[in-house]
């Protein structure tokens, strides 16, 4: 998919659409990642950081790197999306839009959790999964909240 706004980066072109694939409806929650760690004896050591940002087991899992995420995906029988796949589903069918909600950056607080609180964004840390209205593909929290 890439970014058709081409702000001077060669990697933003060409614009392309990904083949068919599946995507989970929301971020992996802490509870599910804990289950993975317990069942596989995976060595994960940042639980103190997780608990500081994700306040309940139903919050999204944070402080994972590519290796952690890949190991989780293998356990779950899934895979990480490509950048093009992630961008495509994040926009929820809004082809050619700058943000996952459209082009108006002033609407960010209505659709995302980031940098303090304002509007529907009332969380200073991570928001629980499904805190914001899902996009047209039924996926929630596709902007802000955690580093995708």
- Number of domains, the chain: 1
> Which CATH number fits the domain that encloses residue 12?
3.90.1580.10
Backbone torsions φ then ψ of 121, nearest 5 degrees: -85, 100
Domain containing 72 equals 1-148
pLDDT digits (tens, 9 = 90+) for 85-131: 888 888 888 877 777 778 887 777 677 777 777 767 677 778 888 88
CA dist., res. 80 & res. 98, Å (int): 23
pLDDT digits (tens, 9 = 90+) for 9-49: 555 555 565 578 889 988 999 999 999 999 999 999 999 99
Query: How many CA atoms within 13 Å lie on the side-chain side of 104?
Result: 5
CA dist., res. 137 & res. 139, Å (int): 6
pTM (two decimals): 0.80
């Amino acid at each position: 998919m890439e970014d058709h706004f081409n702000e001077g980066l060669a990697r933003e072109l060409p614009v392309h659409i990904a083949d068919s694939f599946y995507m989970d409806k929301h971020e992996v929650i802490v509870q599910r990642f804990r289950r993975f760690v317990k069942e596989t004896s995976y060595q994960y050591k940042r639980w103190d950081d997780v608990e500081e940002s994700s306040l309940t087991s139903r919050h999204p899992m944070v402080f994972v790197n590519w290796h952690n995420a890949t190991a989780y995906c293998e356990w779950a029988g899934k895979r990480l999306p490509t950048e093009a796949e992630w961008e495509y589903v994040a926009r929820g069918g809004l082809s050619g839009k700058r943000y996952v909600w459209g082009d108006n950056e002033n609407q960010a607080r209505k659709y995302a959790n980031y940098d303090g609180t304002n509007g529907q964004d009332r969380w200073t840390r991570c928001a629980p999964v499904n805190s914001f209205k899902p996009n047209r593909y039924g996926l929630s929290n596709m902007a802000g909240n955690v580093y995708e």
